[in-house]
Chain A
Amino acid sequence: MKLAYWMYAGPAHIGTLRIASSFKNVHAIMHAPLGDDYFNVMRSMLERERDYTPVTASIVDRNVLARGSQEKVVDNIVRKDKEETPDLIVLTPTCTSSILQEDLQNFVDRAQLDAQGDVMLADVNHYRVNELQAADRTLSQIVQYYINKARKNGDLPSGKTEKPSVNIIGMTTLGFHNNHDCTELKRLMVDLGIEVNEVIPEGASVHNLKNLPRAWFNLVPYREVGMMAAEFLQAELGMPYVNITPMGVVETARCLRAIAKVLNEQGANVNYEDYIDNQTRFVSQAAWFSRSIDCQNLTGKKAVVFGDNTHAAAMTKILAREMGIHVVLAGTYCKYDADWFKEQVSEYCDEILISDDNGAIGDAIARIEPSAIFGTQMERHVGKRLNIPCGVIAAPIHIQNFPVGYRPFLGYEGANQVVDLVYNSFTLGMEDHLLEIFGGHDTKEVITKGISADSDLNWHKEAQAELNKVPGFVRGKVKRNTEKFARDRGINEITLEVMYAAKEAVGA
C-alpha cells in the first residue's frame, strides 16, 4: 500500500480509452463498476468534445460479483455493435476486472460471432502498466490486428507511394497539445515535400491501417505513445522510423536531418539544409531570441524541469542549450523508461530525479528555489505555494491547457511558443521581484476602503462571521447589498436575520 494524494500517470484503462476514442468509429466497452466511466467526463470537459465519447461500461455490480458477468459483456458488445455499427469494439479491462479474472478473451470470441464489426480485448494489466504504457500497447495491438487481417485477406497494398510519404504515429485525444502539434507537423511535411500517408490514431479509420506500409517511413514525435507500433512496423514490414521529437530549434533540425537520411536511403535524394537554415535564422524567432538581450538577462538563471519523458527532456535541452539557462534539476515520472531520460538529459542538468511522488519533486523545488519551474499542473501549484512562476509543459493538465488558439510545441512554430512560455515565466518572476524591491503597488486596501468607508451600519458579530464565510470575491457585493437593504428599511443593525432577509429580497 502506498499513501498517495496525486498521481502523474493515470490507470492503464485510460491509455486504452485514449487510443480507442481517438480513432473514428471505434467504440470501447469497459468492464467496470459504476462511476469508472469518468473518462467520458474528462474528454467532454477538457477537450470540449462535441460528440459523445464512444465509451460505455459493461457494469460490474453485486450480481456480477456473485455469478460472473455471464452473458452481460457479450450482450453489451453485441448491442453496441447494432446501435452504432462501429468498425471495432475494444473490450477494456480495469483494475476490477484484473482481480475478477474473468475470461474476457472468451467473451470477445463469443461476441465476435454475432457482431458485424471487429471485437478485440485490450491486452493491458492494471497492476503492471500505467496509462502511457497502455496507450502505447493498445495502439500497437490495433495496428497489428489490422495489418495481420489485411495480410490474411491478401489486401495488404504492396509498394510505396510515388512521392516520399510519412505516417505520423502517436497523436491522441487528451494528449498535451497534440492537435496543434499534429497540424504543425503536417505543415512541416508539406514544406519538405513529404506526403502525409496516415496519421494515427487521432481521426483515423481502422480501415486505413492496412495502408500504413505505403509510407516511406514512420514519424513518432512522442516518446510515450507510438514506439511499439513503429517497432512492429519495422520488424514486420521493414519500415524505418524517426523518433526524434522535433521540439526546440536544434532538435527539429536533428529530426529533419534524420528524415532526410531515411528518405535518401530509399533513393529520394533530398537535402533539407537550406530549409533548416532559412527557418532557423529568418522564419522562426527562437534562434534570434536566443541571441537577443532579453534572453541574455536569463543567462544562468536557475530552472527546474519535470514532466513526461518527451517534454521534460526536450525542455531541458532547450533551456540549457538554446537559452543558456541553468537547469538545476530535470525529472520525469516515466519511471519505466528512466534510462532513456537519463541518457537524454544527463549533460544538460546538474541533477536527475526519477519519481512519481509529487512530494519528492515539491521538496526538491523548495530546496533548489529556482527562478522558474517547467512542469505539470502539480508543479504549477507547488510554484504558487512557494511564489515561483511555472510554465506547464506536460500532462496532467487542466482545461486551460487545452487552448482553442494555435499552440503547438513541436516544429518551428512550436519553438516560438516555447520561447514565449519560457520568457513569460521568467519575466513574471522578475516583475514580481522588482515590485517587491520598489515596495509593490498595493492598491487593494485603498479600493476596499473607498467602497465600504461610508458604512454607518453596525454588523453583529455572528452576521460578520457569516459574512466572512462568503467567498472573498463576492463578499463585497453581499456586504453592499445587505447594507443597502438594511438602509432602505431603516435598519441600522445587521443581524443574521437581516442577512437572510436581504438574501431573499435582493439576492444579496
Chain B
Amino acid sequence: MTVKSKFTHLTKEEPDPIIKTLTQYHQDQSPNKLDVSIGVYKSPDGLLYTFPSIIEAKEIYHNEKNYGHNYTTMSGIKEFINGSQQLLFGKDVITSDGEKKIASIQTIAGTGAIHMGLLFFMEAGYKNFYLGLPSWSNYIPMIETVGGKVNTYEYYNTANGEINFDTVKKTLIEAPKNSVFIFQTCCHNPTGADFNNDQWIEVVKLIKQYDHLVLMDTAYLGFSSGDLIKDSWILRYMYEEAEIEFVVAQSFSKNMGLYGERLGAVHVIVQDENYVDHAQSTLVANFRHECSFAPSFGARLAQIIFENDKLYQQWTKEVNQVTQRLQNLRQLVYQTLIKLETPGNWKTVIQQKGLFWYSGLTPQQNDRLISNHNVYSTSIGRVNIAGLNEQNVEYFCKAIDEVVRHNYE
C-alpha cells in the first residue's frame, strides 16, 4: 500500500552556516585542524572552559539539603532575576526609591530573551525592526518568525574597519516613529566594533528625539573591558538619565560559561511604574504559551553566585581574566601578522573587543583557509579569538598570510 505523504511539499532547509562549518570541522581528520568559528570561550589547552566559580557553585548546589528539580515560577527563579537585574542596573537602582520600573522573566538564554523581546514589541504594536549590518545571522529569521518587518542599514564599514556612525545617525533620523532598533550593548557580533561613550549618548538622544524603541542584546557583558559594571553603563544611562523605555535581552552563556544550560533573562523598562505589571503579565503569558517554565539548573547556579559575595567577586575576577587573555591573544595575532609582513592593515584585530575578530577576509580567502590549512573560520570572516592559543597562533597567522598573498583568479 502506497500512501502519499502530506508533507511532500516541504523543502529542505539549508543548515545554519555556523553549524555547517562545525560539521565540516568535526569530519576533518587532520591533526592540525583549528576551530575559530562558533563563539565559545576556550582554555589555553583548547578545551571548553568551565569557570571555577561555576564549579564551586555546582558543588554547593549538589550539597544543598533542599536541592531538587521542582518547577520554579513562570517568571523564573526570583533570586536569579533579582541578581540579573542588579548586574545590569546596579544595586542602587533597585533599592534607592523602592520603585522598580523593570519587568523581567527568565528565558532560554539570550536567544529566548530576544524571542520574548520581539514578541513583546509585536504585542505592543511595534513591528518595524532596524538592524545594522553585518549582524548576528540569527536576528533576521527571528524577526521574520514573529512576523516583524526587517529593515537594514550599514553599521560597519568593512573597507576601513570602522563603524559607519553617519549612517547610523541618518537611519535613526529617517526611520518612521516607533521603529525598534536592535543594538548590542558591547562586543558587537560579528564585528567586535562598539560605539564609544559619546556615540552612545548621541544615539540615545536621537532615539528619544525621534521616538524610537530599542532592544539591547546583551550577550557579552564583561568581555569588552573585563568589568561587568563598566560594560553595562549604557543600560543604566538609558534607564536613569535618559529615562527611555527599552528591552534588554541578557545571556549568561558566555560570561558564566553556561552555554548549553540556556540561562538568560529579558527585561522591559517601563518608565511609568503603573504599567510595569502590565508588561510583566504580557511577558509571562507569552512564555507560558511556548515554554511554561525556564530550565532551573543554570539559574540555581547563578543564584548561588549572586548570593555568595566571595563567589561573586571570584566570578567577576574570572571574567576579567578571560577578557585579559582574549586581549593578549589579539595582540599576539597582530604582532605576528606584522612580523610576517602580511599585506594589509591589521589594526582591527586589536581595536575590536570580545570573542570575535571581524577579519575582513573574503569568502574565497576563508574557503581557502579551510581547504588548504584546515582553519575553520566563518564564511563572513568572523574569527573566534578564543579558539586561538599560544601553541596555534603562529600556524593561524601563517595561514592568513598565505591566503592573503595567494593570487585568486
The reply to whether chain A is a binding partner of chain B is no
